[in-house]
């Protein structure tokens, strides 16, 4: 067992949140109910636990060869509910199947894992590279950063699947931005 702590901040408030992680027993897997997106260290950076898979062999914060690194980046002055979905079920074949409440995850995203990124905030998730891994966003909901009132729905769904669009060890970046006309846009990039 490892005890990990992370600093969680929202505006001028900061909390230290501690979690207990069992090592070597399933690691930080994602199940049909969402599960954990992975532990972080005391500074909010991803921590790799578990054994035998090489972990972060590059030392660059990537998940290593048996994980996928997902960066969620709010590139706006607004708050964004990222509306992020994860499934490791090989039976989930279409975005319509992925974008259901059972696969929505907020763990490790925003203040107290609420799924909302403040203006210019980002989150990094390390996910196990399981067969059938399918990731996506419905485009998010862009919110007033003070009141939290929904201003506009991002609207464009983006999804990627292990195999056709990305491989184990890749970094996938979902970026929530406003285009030149100040309309919300969500992009996805695989590296």
* 116 Cβ contact list (under 8 Å, min separation 6): 79, 80, 81, 82, 109, 110, 143, 148
State CA 168 to chain mean position distance: 16
Walk along the chain (191 residues) and give the pLDDT tens digit of each residue: 333 444 444 443 444 443 333 333 333 333 333 333 444 433 344 443 333 334 444 445 555 678 999 999 999 999 999 999 999 999 999 999 999 999 999 999 999 999 999 999 999 999 999 999 999 999 999 999 999 999 999 879 999 999 999 999 999 999 999 999 989 999 999 99
Extents of the domains making up the chain:
2-190
Q: How far apart are the first and last CA of the chain?
A: 33
Q: What is the pTM of this model?
A: 0.69
d(CA 93, CA 61): 30
**Nearest C-alpha neighbor of 106 from the set 137, 80, 82:** 82
């Amino acid at each position: 067992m490892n005890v990990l702590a992370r600093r969680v901040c929202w505006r001028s408030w900061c909390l230290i949140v501690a979690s207990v992680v069992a090592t070597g027993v399933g690691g930080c897997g994602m199940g049909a109910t969402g599960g954990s997106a992975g532990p972080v260290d005391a500074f909010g950076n991803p921590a790799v636990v578990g054994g035998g898979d090489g972990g972060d062999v590059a030392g660059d914060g990537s998940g290593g060869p048996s994980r996928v690194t997902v960066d969620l980046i709010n590139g706006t002055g607004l708050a964004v509910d990222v509306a992020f979905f994860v499934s490791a079920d090989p039976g989930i074949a279409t975005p319509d199947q992925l974008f259901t409440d059972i696969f929505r995850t907020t763990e490790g995203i925003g203040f107290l894992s609420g799924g909302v990124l403040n203006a210019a905030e980002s989150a990094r998730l390390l996910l196990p590279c399981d067969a059938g891994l399918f990731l996506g966003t419905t485009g998010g909901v862009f919110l007033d950063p003070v009141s939290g009132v929904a201003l506009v729905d991002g609207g464009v769904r983006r999804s990627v699947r292990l195999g056709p669009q990305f491989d184990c060890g890749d970094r996938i970046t979902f970026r929530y931005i406003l285009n030149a006309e100040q309309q919300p846009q969500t992009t996805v990039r695989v590296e």
